[in-house]
């Protein structure tokens, strides 16, 4: 039976912890989703059957940092999810909010955060959910996501290594590429290894990951289940629109800038121009 949505999803003090770090610093806190039936293997197998095949990804489990995260295929994961977990694979259920019961779960999670996130960046928008089911020792290579994210560890353990969203780890060119092609994998230097903030997550741990923070992930000795709750807000939406303007500025021989360094009025102006250019088919 799916647990009562009135039960608090976060441990005492989680709201205060997140508010103290948001939006620019990662932080861990405790959650109450470990016994959530919707995040067990049987329910996830049912969800995988209901989602469109292209929303159920299977990738290699042993990619190294700086390498491609090779896609094995889509769909066909029911047998693996109803057994002990996947063998030598990383499985992602993308956009689980398209299933009403998971939309209700995500709404309750984002709703309980309240002013912890809205007080600085405005109301969350484009709330999405992703579930990751990984075989033991799976390694997700170095990459970034242009969204705010809370990762809830449900089963197994993992090390989640985060980096500041700035050079040398994340360049302006990489951020622009994401907004034009969707590419989010990042180059790797061995010197990065010892510059990470290592977050060691066990069931019941949650990790807030700031917008754009590069990271890699290593699963422990048991299969892992994690839920990612992601969202945008007025600031991040303006950032995406402003970044889209830079390629046009280059083509016209005009100065470009990193919008993350812009003042709020300048960011809004660049975002507006970028949005208009996109609608006009210029970017």
Task: Give the per-residue pLDDT at 259.
Answer: 63
Rounded distance between C-alpha atoms, residue 283 and residue 276, angstroms: 9
Q: Which helix (H) or strand (E) holds 239?
A: helix 234-243
The tens-digit pLDDT sequence of the chain (283 residues) is 344 455 678 998 999 999 999 999 999 999 999 999 999 999 999 999 999 999 999 999 999 999 999 999 998 888 888 777 778 999 999 999 999 999 999 999 999 998 899 888 889 999 999 999 999 999 999 999 999 999 999 999 999 999 999 999 999 889 988 987 889 999 999 999 999 999 999 999 999 999 999 999 999 999 999 999 999 998 888 888 877 777 666 766 656 666 665 556 555 645 555 565 566 565 5
Asked if 99 and 57 touch (Cβ cutoff 8 Å), the reply is: no
Rounded distance between C-alpha atoms, residue 134 and residue 66, angstroms: 20
Task: Give the per-residue pLDDT at 87.
Answer: 81
Closest CA to 247 of 278, 204, 217: 278
Rounded distance between C-alpha atoms, residue 275 and residue 248, angstroms: 12
SS3 per residue for 37-104: HHHCHHHHHHHHHHCCHHHEEEECCECCCCCCCCEEEECCCHHHHHCCCCCCCEEEEECHHHCHHHHH
Asked whether the bond before 10 is cis by omega within 30 degrees of 0, the reply is no
Query: Hey, what domains does the chain have and what are their CATH numbers?
Result: 14-232 (2.60.120.650), 237-279 (no CATH)
Residues 6+ apart with CB under 8 A from 146: 175, 178, 179, 184, 211, 212, 236, 239, 240
Q: Kindly give the interhelix angle for 172-181 and 234-243, rounded to the nearest 10 degrees.
A: 90
Task: Give the per-residue pLDDT at 2.
Answer: 47
Task: Give the per-residue pLDDT at 256.
Answer: 64
Task: Give the per-residue pLDDT at 114.
Answer: 86
Report phi then psi at 133, rounded to 5: -120, 120
Residues 6+ apart with CB under 8 A from 251: none
Task: Give the per-residue pLDDT at 282.
Answer: 57
């Amino acid at each position: 039976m799916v647990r009562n949505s009135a039960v608090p999803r976060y441990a005492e003090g989680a709201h205060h912890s997140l508010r103290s770090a948001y939006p620019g610093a990662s932080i861990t806190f405790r959650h109450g989703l470990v016994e959530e039936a919707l995040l067990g293997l049987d329910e996830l197998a049912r969800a995988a059957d209901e989602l469109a095949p292209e929303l159920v990804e299977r990738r290699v489990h042993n990619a190294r940092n700086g390498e491609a995260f090779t896609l094995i295929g889509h769909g066909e994961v029911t047998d693996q999810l109803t057994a002990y977990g996947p063998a030598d694979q990383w499985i992602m259920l993308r956009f689980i909010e398209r299933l009403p019961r998971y939309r209700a779960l995500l709404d309750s999670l984002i709703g309980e955060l309240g002013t912890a996130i809205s007080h600085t960046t405005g109301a969350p928008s484009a709330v999405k959910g992703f579930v990751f089911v990984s075989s033991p020792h799976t390694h997700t290579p170095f990459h970034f996501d242009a969204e705010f994210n809370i990762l809830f560890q449900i089963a197994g353990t993992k090390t989640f290594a985060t980096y500041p969203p700035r050079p040398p780890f994340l360049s302006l060119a990489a951020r622009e590429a994401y907004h034009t092609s969707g590419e989010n994998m990042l180059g790797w230097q061995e010197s990065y290894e010892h510059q990470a903030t290592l977050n060691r997550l066990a069931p019941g741990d949650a990790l807030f990951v700031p917008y754009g923070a590069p990271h890699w992930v290593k699963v422990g000795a048991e299969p892992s289940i994690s839920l990612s709750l992601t969202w945008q807000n007025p600031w991040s939406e303006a950032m995406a629109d402003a970044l889209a303007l830079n390629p046009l500025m280059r083509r016209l021989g005009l100065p470009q800038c990193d919008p993350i360094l812009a003042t709020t009025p300048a960011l809004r102006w660049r975002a507006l121009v970028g949005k208009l250019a996109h609608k006009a088919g210029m970017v």
